[in-house]
């Protein structure tokens, strides 16, 4: 169990750094785009802004699944990367199908990845909520002018 923690916790840290990077990039892009088109009330711009934030956050989450899948391959748990990625996706999203499992030696990595995933999806949700609230505030402000 201790060896799973010693291997899994650094991977969780890498995922946290990836999530922070994608969060910063998506919100900076959002802020720049918003600043450029600040006085314009165009629904298509709002849709584009929200889509960019959502896609960047999803890409960040997917890359984290790839990191975990790479770890599973490195540990020799799966022969094919596609199987490792599938297992990673099931854990990261907390679906927990249970059709594929890790060996007893590394089985604690599954719940660690699930905990990592739920936290990172929470961060993604917070970023989307921030963007949606900003669009809503701007829309209300433009309606009252």
pTM across the whole model: 0.87
Residue 119 reports pLDDT greater than 90: yes
pLDDT in tens, 15-29: 999 999 999 988 888
Give the confidence band of 10 by pLDDT, cuts at 50, 70, 90.
very high
Q: CB-based contacts of 24: which residues, under 8 Å, 6+ apart? A: none
Give the confidence band of 7 by pLDDT, cuts at 50, 70, 90.
very high
Count of Cβ atoms closer than 10 Å to residue 102 Cβ: 18
Residue 120 reports pLDDT greater than 70: yes
55 vs 25: CA distance, rounded Å: 12
Q: Which of 40-44, 66-70, 128-132 has the highest mean pLDDT?
A: 66-70
pLDDT mean across residues, the chain: 90
Q: Is 56 exposed, middle or buried (0-12, 13-18, 19+ CB in 10 A)?
A: buried
Give the residue numbers spanning the domain of 38. 2-143
Supply the pLDDT for residue 77: 97
Q: How many domains does the chain have?
A: 1
Q: Determine the average pLDDT of the residues in 137-144.
A: 79
């Amino acid at each position: 169990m201790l060896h799973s923690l010693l291997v899994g916790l650094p991977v969780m840290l890498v995922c946290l750094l990836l999530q922070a990077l994608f969060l910063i990039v998506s919100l900076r892009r959002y802020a720049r785009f918003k600043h450029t088109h600040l006085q314009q009330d165009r629904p298509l711009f709002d849709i584009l802004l929200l889509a960019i934030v959502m896609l960047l956050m999803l890409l960040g989450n997917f890359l984290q699944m790839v990191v975990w899948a790479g770890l599973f391959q490195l540990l020799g748990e799966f022969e094919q990367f596609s199987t490792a990625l599938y297992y990673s996706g099931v854990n990261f999203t907390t679906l927990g199908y249970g059709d594929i499992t890790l060996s007893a030696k590394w089985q604690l990595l599954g719940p660690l990845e699930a905990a990592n995933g739920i936290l990172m999806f929470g961060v993604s949700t917070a970023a989307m909520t921030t963007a949606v609230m900003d669009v809503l505030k701007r829309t209300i402000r433009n309606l009252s002018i």
